[in-house]
Homo-oligomer: A and B are copies of this chain.
């Protein structure tokens, strides 16, 4: 559309404001006709639907009206956003990124070593996963605040799923290979969802279910840490609370190591105190961020000089030196394990994606920049695919580290590059120093980290807002705690789907009344002062009418009518003569819905009640015309507003009374 035409349209379309208030005065009973929208052709209609479903974010908008070479540049920039924002990069921004990069690096190194244990992998694999994936993400990702690396929940999930297939101790090599295979397919899953623009599918995991799942996983992870915390050597492989507590209590007499407990609990207190300081005063956000590294250094030094490892304090012992070796040949592309790898990869990839996208969205909203969900998925997927070839396991956005990153004043994804560089230096030069790090410290660090995943404030809010959501949340939580991560996840997904199905089968309906001193008709349950109009029943359907709910709606309408007539009969008042259906919320109808309306119309005719429709929407009026339902009930039975309908019908009731 050219500029000139727009101007003209505007002139005719936009009204003078002054006419707005004055028009109220001479508001004569003017009844506006319900318009039949201009017919769209079929191809346009289908195109619009597909576009709205898959390209709702309009990703091609910047490409419009551009030269071919410009389109190419834009295309490359779309895949590697760093080329775009990199051009405006400057020293001030780098200062912020440097500080935040160093901060998250100091937080991630001890966490990585601990988390790789949750995945039943050697300590170096956590560090590997904090080296390559953040680099790839920095090139392709568009979030400025996310901190990439291994995270607790995904590590636990991956570890649980993998050890269901292979014993990580007896068949360590196969286990490791399957881990890389799963990581590869996790990346493929994520990237495909993005490329096929099916990213909206992850929206099907409801927020409440995710909160419950995360909380449950945090408890499970904390319980697993009791092994390192108490210095127990023989520990159950199950993750449910009953098995773990049994295992802990049965080894109380001879399995616990008091030296370990002393170290672990004193440092846990230190870490929690650091967390408390950080929370109390936002200025000291760096205190909890570097506390873990300090704990590691102090405790390692302490063990080294006292030789506490000879008193039964377990230490890391061996940690590979040097950067990621290639693992391309380790991935199973054939054989039995291929299918298992795909299965585990799809699950772990989806959960990792849910976490990363939630983090990305949260921080994008806080700084008000747009995030292209599908592009993000491609970036995360590519990063995991490349990661799987360089000895990394599934990496994603870490909530705790991203928050630290944000508070430390990160400006762009360069903070991830800084972190990656520090991890690289650590791998090259410092890893041997971690030899004497006690496992108890790692347990304390993980415990203090996962506490943040238990979002009790969100749970309280969920309880207040939506009881069904609360059930979903608790279901996922108890599923993880008393069952396993898989059971919890399954419960979360099932309840999410049940909610969707319930929503479409049992839509809300309401009887409307007139709000005093206005011409507005509203739900009489919400506005008890609203009054009914004699002889009329005004009924609102709060949903599209589809096959899944059409019968319910028809029956519900007849039930409202029967109830109302019983009441009127008892009170000796005149019977209902008009059923006015307020159609504003009815956004769509399908063939089953039209059938239901036709049946309702027939039933009403038998009862001598006229059917009136108020404000059918654009799609609706189109379809009601196409099915010739309008001509069967009569064009004069359709009104623009309930007020118009009442004004027309009400006098007729009075005549007949």
A residues 104-154 touching B (CB-CB < 8 Å): none
Cross-chain contact B204 with A21 (CB below 8 angstroms): no
Cross-chain contact A517 with B23 (CB below 8 angstroms): yes
Given A534-B17, A617-B526, the answer on whether A56 and B584 have CB atoms closer than 8 Å is: no
Cross-chain contact B533 with A467 (CB below 8 angstroms): no
Cross-chain contact B584 with A35 (CB below 8 angstroms): no
Which B residues are in CB contact (< 8 Å) with A29? Answer: 21, 24
The answer to whether A500 has its CB under 8 Å from any CB of chain B is yes
Given A526-B618, A590-B208, the answer on whether A505 and B200 have CB atoms closer than 8 Å is: yes
Which of the segments A156-164, A389-397, A414-422, A592-600 contacts the partner chain? A592-600
The answer to whether A167 has its CB under 8 Å from any CB of chain B is no
Cross-chain contact A571 with B17 (CB below 8 angstroms): no
Which B residues are in CB contact (< 8 Å) with A7? Answer: 571
Min CB gap A344→B, angstroms: 25
Cross-chain contact A6 with B567 (CB below 8 angstroms): yes
| Residue of A46, A200, A496 ringed by the most chain B CB atoms within 10 A | A200
Contact with B along A419-444 (1 / 0, CB 8 A): 00000000000000000000000000
The answer to whether A251 has its CB under 8 Å from any CB of chain B is no
Given A6-B570, A555-B56, A627-B464, the answer on whether A17 and B640 have CB atoms closer than 8 Å is: no
Cross-chain contact B53 with A544 (CB below 8 angstroms): no
Contact with B along A495-535 (1 / 0, CB 8 A): 01001111111111010011111111011011111011110
A543: contacting residue among B587, B640, B653, CB under 8 A: B587
The answer to whether A325 has its CB under 8 Å from any CB of chain B is no
Min CB gap A389→B, angstroms: 32
Cross-chain contact A591 with B526 (CB below 8 angstroms): no
Cross-chain contact A32 with B518 (CB below 8 angstroms): yes
Q: Interface residues of A toward B: which range?
A: 35 or more
Cross-chain contact A587 with B548 (CB below 8 angstroms): no
Cross-chain contact A641 with B520 (CB below 8 angstroms): yes
The answer to whether A542 has its CB under 8 Å from any CB of chain B is yes
Q: For residue A504, which residue of chain B has the nearest CB?
A: B500
Cross-chain contact B585 with A542 (CB below 8 angstroms): yes
The answer to whether A37 has its CB under 8 Å from any CB of chain B is yes
The answer to whether A465 has its CB under 8 Å from any CB of chain B is yes
Which B residues are in CB contact (< 8 Å) with A14? Answer: 531-534, 573
Q: For residue A523, which residue of chain B has the nearest CB?
A: B618
- For the complex, what is the distance from the CA of A626 to the CA of B464, rounded to whole Å? 6
Which of the segments A173-181, A232-240, A644-652 contacts the partner chain? A644-652
Min CB gap A207→B, angstroms: 4
Min CB gap A502→B, angstroms: 7
Cross-chain contact A52 with B646 (CB below 8 angstroms): no
Which B residues are in CB contact (< 8 Å) with A46? Answer: 467
Given A27-B27, A551-B361, A587-B508, the answer on whether A15 and B514 have CB atoms closer than 8 Å is: yes
Which B residues are in CB contact (< 8 Å) with A550? Answer: 203
- For the complex, what is the distance from the CA of A517 to the CA of B6, rounded to whole Å? 24
Min CB gap A557→B, angstroms: 12
Q: For residue A520, which residue of chain B has the nearest CB?
A: B641
The answer to whether A461 has its CB under 8 Å from any CB of chain B is yes
A residues 11-46 touching B (CB-CB < 8 Å): 13-15, 17, 20-21, 23-24, 27-30, 32, 35, 37-38, 42, 45-46
Q: How many copies of this chain does one complex carry? A: 2
Cross-chain contact B515 with A206 (CB below 8 angstroms): no
A526: contacting residue among B461, B621, B623, CB under 8 A: B621
Which B residues are in CB contact (< 8 Å) with A13? Answer: 513, 531-532
A residues 527-563 touching B (CB-CB < 8 Å): 527-529, 531-534, 542-544, 546-552, 555-556, 558-559
The answer to whether A76 has its CB under 8 Å from any CB of chain B is no
- For the complex, what is the distance from the CA of A501 to the CA of B647, rounded to whole Å? 39
Q: For residue A526, which residue of chain B has the nearest CB?
A: B618
Min CB gap A482→B, angstroms: 23
The answer to whether A3 has its CB under 8 Å from any CB of chain B is yes
Which B residues are in CB contact (< 8 Å) with A370? Answer: 558
Q: For residue A567, which residue of chain B has the nearest CB?
A: B6
Min CB gap A641→B, angstroms: 6
Which B residues are in CB contact (< 8 Å) with A619? Answer: 508
The answer to whether A97 has its CB under 8 Å from any CB of chain B is no
CB pairs A–B below 8 angstroms (26 shown): A6-B570, A14-B531, A15-B533, A17-B534, A21-B650, A27-B518, A32-B520, A57-B559, A204-B548, A207-B592, A365-B602, A368-B602, A368-B603, A370-B558, A465-B589, A465-B590, A465-B591, A465-B594, A465-B626, A499-B546, A500-B548, A508-B619, A510-B618, A523-B617, A542-B585, A542-B587
Question: Sorted from nearest, which 5 A-B pairs have the closest CB atoms?
Answer: A526-B618, A585-B585, A206-B547, A542-B587, A207-B592
Interface residues of A (CB under 8 A from B): 3, 6-7, 10, 13-15, 17, 20-21, 23-24, 27-30, 32, 35, 37-38, 42, 45-46, 49, 52-53, 56-58, 200, 203-208, 361, 365-366, 368, 370, 373, 458, 461-462, 464-469, 496, 499-508, 510, 513-520, 522-523, 525-529, 531-534, 542-544, 546-552, 555-556, 558-559, 567, 570-571, 573, 584-585, 587-592, 594-595, 599, 602-603, 606-607, 615, 617-619, 621, 623, 626-627, 640-641, 646-647, 650-651, 653-654
Can you add 15 more A-B contacts, CB < 8 Å, to A32-B520, A466-B589, A500-B546? A20-B514, A32-B515, A32-B517, A37-B525, A203-B551, A204-B501, A206-B592, A368-B603, A461-B594, A465-B590, A466-B590, A508-B587, A526-B617, A543-B544, A585-B585
